[in-house]
Every structure is written in structure tokens, then in C-alpha cells.
Amino acid sequence: MTPLQFSTLLPYLLPRSPQGRPIRELRQRMEGIFHIAATAAPWHTLPAKYGKPDTVSRYFRRLTHAGLWENLLKALADAAPNHPLRQIEDQIVKACRRAHRILGLSFLVLIRKLNLRRALPGPPWLLPNPLLSETLSRVKIVPPPPGEYGHKTRHAHLLAALQRLHRDAAGRARIRRSVRLGWP
């Protein structure tokens, strides 16, 4: 990270520990978080130059609970194309993919609303779609006309359409690791 990129990121970070002590190696911790997010490796494999893995992972969780990733995504959505935050967008997006495990479904809703699909932890069509009302508004389900209640194919198509909507809204229970890591 260049000094300009770090100074752009600095207003969003927590500069103090919960006990009130200033954090001296703030840039080192952020580079460690971005390193782990880019490699998708477990925390214990963090190289020593970024600090202790437990310390960096604890700081990542504190930032996540403090709302850093939501604030950064909102700032990215509003940023101009030549803004310094755009230069580290790829690193922010990958860290957001890791943070979704902590933040849950509300974070996925925010990502979809901001239209930053790269921040999703996998392809959007495999993830839960909590915005079911918007999905339903695009699908035209025509009920069978009166008097055709014995017509089984029309009912079968209607049932199949409802099942597809339910599956799309719930997402897949598990997404293969190769698919998740292959998502750009």
C-alpha cells in the first residue's frame, strides 16, 4: 500500500485499542488483513512481518463489528473513478468477502443494494437473495384460468416457477471452494 492509499484508508480505521492505547503498527495490520484476504489462507499462516496472526485477526474482527467494511463499500460506491480508494478496491472487496461470515445476510443485502457484486463471496445466482420482492416483481406467474383446474401441466409449471423462486431466494446451502475462489 502506498502512503496515499493508506492515508485515504486511515479515517475509516480504529486507531485505538479497546483499552484506549494507540495502535502503532496500524498500517502493518491492514496490510496483513489484505494479505490474508487476497490469499484466502487461514490466519495462522500470516507471515511474521505483518505481526502476530492472533492480533491481526482480532483487529479484523473489531473492524468488522465496528462497521468498517460497510463504510468502505459505501465510500467506494460514491467515489470517483480516479479516487485513491479505487486503487485498493480489489483488496477491500476481498476483505469484504471474508467479513461476510461475521456480518451475515444484512451485509449481502447492502452489497446488492450498492451494486458492488464483486464484494459478494461467490456468484450472485448461488447466494441467498433477501430482496425477494424485487425478484418476484420481475417474474410473471399467471394462474390458470377458471375452469381449467384439471389441467395438470399448467399447475406443474406454476409449481416449478414457485420452486425456482424459493431456491433463488434461499441460495445454495454450500458453494464449492473452487467456485468461491474463482469468483473475480
Q: Does 8 lie in the same domain as 73?
A: yes
Mean pLDDT, contiguous 10-residue spans, the chain (184 residues): 92 88 91 93 95 95 95 94 93 94 89 90 80 63 60 70 74 79 80
Q: Sort residue 147 into left (φ over 0), alpha (ψ -120 to 50) or beta.
A: left
Last residue of a domain, one of 83, 102, 121: 121
Do 21 and 104 fall within a single domain? yes
Total number of domains in the chain = 2
| 131 φ, ψ (degrees, to nearest 5) | -90, 60
Query: Other C-beta atoms within 10 Å of 88: how many?
Result: 20
What CA–CA distance (Å, rounded) separates 95 from 83? 19
- End-to-end, the C-alpha distance of the chain in Å comes to 21
pLDDT of residue 105: 85
Residue where one domain finishes, among candidates 121, 143, 171: 121
